[in-house]
Amino acid sequence: MGGNNYRYKVMFMMLMLAIINYIDRGAIAYAQKEIIEEFGFDNFSWGMVLGYFGYGYIFGSLFGGILADKKGPRFVFTLIGIGWSIFVILTAFAGEIGMALFGGSALTGFAVIRIFFGLAEGPAFSTINKANANWAAPSERGLAVGLGILGTPLGALLTAPIIVGILSITNWRVMFIGLGIFGIFWVLMFRKMFTNMPEESPHVSKEELGKIRSRDNLLPGEKVVGDSKAEIKWYEFFKHRALVFNAISYFSYMYVNFLLLTWTPKYLQDEFGFQLSSLWYLGMIPWTGACITVLLGGKISDYLRRKTGKLRIARSYFTIVCLALTATCFLFIPTVNSAAAVLALMTIGNAFNSLPNTVYWSIVLDIEPDKAGTYGGMTHFVANFATIIAPTFTGFLVTYYGYSSMFVAAAVAVIFGMLFMFFVNPDKKKAEKKQLDLQSV
């Protein structure tokens, strides 16, 4: 028997996969004290350990999106979920691997494992975007994307109590092994109920499929799956200014996100003397607001789309306002002295930063849903340079200029992203008209 809401079950399962993805990548931040003490890393080398993840992640996001378009999201979800879970397990032995195979260098061992771990995790969100292109109705794109990327703040929020809880009863090596085993189990469960297209699922009724494939109330420039008859080449991404600048702006979101994910535990321990036993709830605080706003942002953007009929207002201008508020919060952090005030500003700033998170992915779906995997992957590729730069550059800043400098750098990155968003116009007809005007000059 088919139902009318099976697509929401698919979205929920993808949300859970995204949460696992973020818990696995954030776990190392809470194990930092034991790892640093065991292998003798300083702030700069620890920043490098955290940043190595990004070297694999950027290429994983790029090629994973292309693979999702070619092989389908079901294949990619299975491949990467099992893959990153294996490298989570291997993280428990990264130091020993480095000392045994790489000239006695534990740092090199962590580098190799973290790079391959990032490579396996990289395709997750571009593949979710491809699945959303196949499964979500155009009027629900903001909501669908929001549910998928809710895993970002929710996973980061849940990382603190889950990881601190595990570390309170066992050691960091057992923690990584347990996380990896659970990840493999969940991916195999997901594989059993997910199909690449709703047409392939016995659980989707004709009525629900009609809603998913409905062309009612499409805006100019919007497409549904199957509209692009000609083969679209990957390099055409760079011919569309809205897609390129959208990706550059997304870098600013990722910078803030990865800065908080990787450095918040150490910052709270070093600056305010908190112990690991306190981090289970303190580490959650900066992500509480973001868990609400990442969904709210998708709803607001869809509402603006319906009310104004203009994607530029619903996507670009909405994002600009959010980023301006984000930068303001982070600029104020160095001016306060109490942990409560710092956490409050981090929480509010992160909440504003997460409001337009859905927009970056929705713009890809608005412009070219048939290449949602490839173009989503390329968007993620550009943005994910932040996963290298944020933790590594922060290690440098903290070493030479103190912790206040990392918040100023975050604000600068957000202002940078805000300025680029002024040039993002996802209305394809307007973009085409402007191009024709330029050619006629």
- Amino acid identity of residue 36, one-letter, is I
Structural domain boundaries enclosing 365: 6-200+238-435
Can you read off the two tokens belonging to residue 101? 């195979």
- 205 domain residue, yes or no: no
Contact predicate 175/31, CB 8 Å: yes
Please state, in angstroms and as integers, the Cα–Cα distance from residue 272 to each residue in 157, 160, 380, following that order.
Answer: 20, 17, 34
- 440 domain residue, yes or no: no
- 314 domain residue, yes or no: yes
- 306 domain residue, yes or no: yes
- 223 domain residue, yes or no: no
Angle, in degrees to the nearest 10, between helices 318-332 and 241-272:
20
Domain count of the fold of the chain: 1
pLDDT at 435: 46
3-state secondary structure labels for all residues of 91-155: HCCHHHHHHHHCCCCHHHHHHHHHHHHHHHHCCHHHHHHHHHHHHCCHHHHHHHHHHHHCHHHHH
- 413 domain residue, yes or no: yes
Reference 305, options 142, 134, 133; nearest CA is 142
pLDDT tens column, 254-292: 999 999 989 999 999 999 999 878 888 888 999 999 999
Contact predicate 428/367, CB 8 Å: yes
The DSSP H or E segment spanning 313 is: none
Which ranges constitute the DSSP H helices of 170-240? 172-193, 206-212
DSSP percent split of the chain into helix, strand, coil, nearest 5: 80, 0, 15
- 342 domain residue, yes or no: yes
pLDDT tens string, the chain, 441 residues long: the values are: 445 789 999 999 999 999 999 999 999 999 999 999 999 999 899 999 999 999 999 999 888 888 988 899 999 999 999 999 999 999 999 999 999 998 889 999 999 999 999 999 999 988 988 898 888 887 777 777 778 788 888 998 999 999 999 999 999 999 999 999 999 999 999 999 999 999 999 999 989 888 888 777 666 655 666 555 556 677 788 888 889 999 999 999 999 999 998 999 999 999 999 987 888 888 899 999 999 998 888 889 888 988 888 889 999 999 999 999 999 999 999 999 999 999 999 999 999 999 998 889 888 878 877 777 788 888 988 998 998 999 999 999 999 999 999 999 999 999 999 999 999 988 754 444 444 444 444
CATH number of the domain enclosing 307:
1.20.1250.20
Give backbone dihedrals phi and psi of 392, rounded to 5 degrees, phi first: -70, -50
- 232 domain residue, yes or no: no
